[in-house]
A and B are shown apart, each in its own frame.
Chain A
Amino acid sequence: DAKTTQPPSMDCAEGRAANLPCNHSTISGNEYVYWYRQIHSQGPQYIIHGLKNNETNEMASLIITEDRKSSTLILPHATLRDTAVYYCIPQGSNYQLIWGAGTKLIIKP
């Protein structure tokens, strides 16, 4: 399973874009990059995923580098409710998710 490196914590001002980086240099060719988040004392929530093209949905955008060794999750207009731990997880066909430490994102008013 690919390993990931994420900054342990980040701050972002409310209303600004939050850019969360993730290094996954050992990702294999058939592994998608999935992003989840976990708000304190709740179950994780799926955000977005991608293989090699950039993706956008109603929650976020995902930018994947051409060599697929890193990606960035973008929350375009962060709100206080976006305060959470964000996890970037490469996932292949076995469906299992291996959780790293994630990035604790704090949105400040």
Chain B
Amino acid sequence: GAVVSQHPSRVICKSGTSVKIECRSLDFQATTMFWYRQFPKQSLMLMATSNEGSKATYEQGVEKDKFLINHASLTLSTLTVTSAHPEDSSFYICSARDPGQFYNEQFFGPGTRLTVL
């Protein structure tokens, strides 16, 4: 299947700083990428849908000014957690769909574990 990478795999930062997470589709061009957040022992929660060349669509309750998403190319989407606080500590996962595939399965990155001190 298609490969999606994320960088970094884990990051520890101080409260008030900003953190950028990169999501790359390695062997296909992804017109749509998705960002999820997962708290311990919970399921994935969709944060936003990122479309190349246009503004991201955020789910209800997700602050767009706090979670900045940029999808400037067909292989890269970035999520920036601005002014991070301890409650933002979570497992952040991106996924992408390959428009060249007939079906809609999504390919997931390995996730980024964010810890805010």
Question: Which residues of A come within 8 Å of B, CB atoms?
Answer: 32, 34, 38, 41-46, 49, 87, 91, 93, 95-102
Interface size of B in residues (CB-CB distance below 8 Å): 25
Are A43 and B109 neighbours in the complex by a CB distance under 8 Å?
Answer: yes
CB distance from B90 to the nearest CB of A (A): 12
Pick from A43, A95, A101: contact of B104, CB under 8 Å: A95
CB distance from A105 to the nearest CB of B (A): 15
**B76-117 interface mask toward A, CB cutoff 8 Å, 1 = contact, 0 = none?**
000000000000000101010100000111111111010000
Q: How many A-B residue pairs lie within 8 Å, measured between CB atoms?
A: 56
Are A46 and B43 neighbours in the complex by a CB distance under 8 Å?
Answer: no
Tell yes or no: B45 within 8 A of A by CB: yes
9 additional contacts, CB 8 Å, given A45-B108, A99-B46?
A: A34-B104, A43-B6, A43-B93, A44-B44, A44-B95, A46-B108, A95-B104, A100-B43, A102-B43
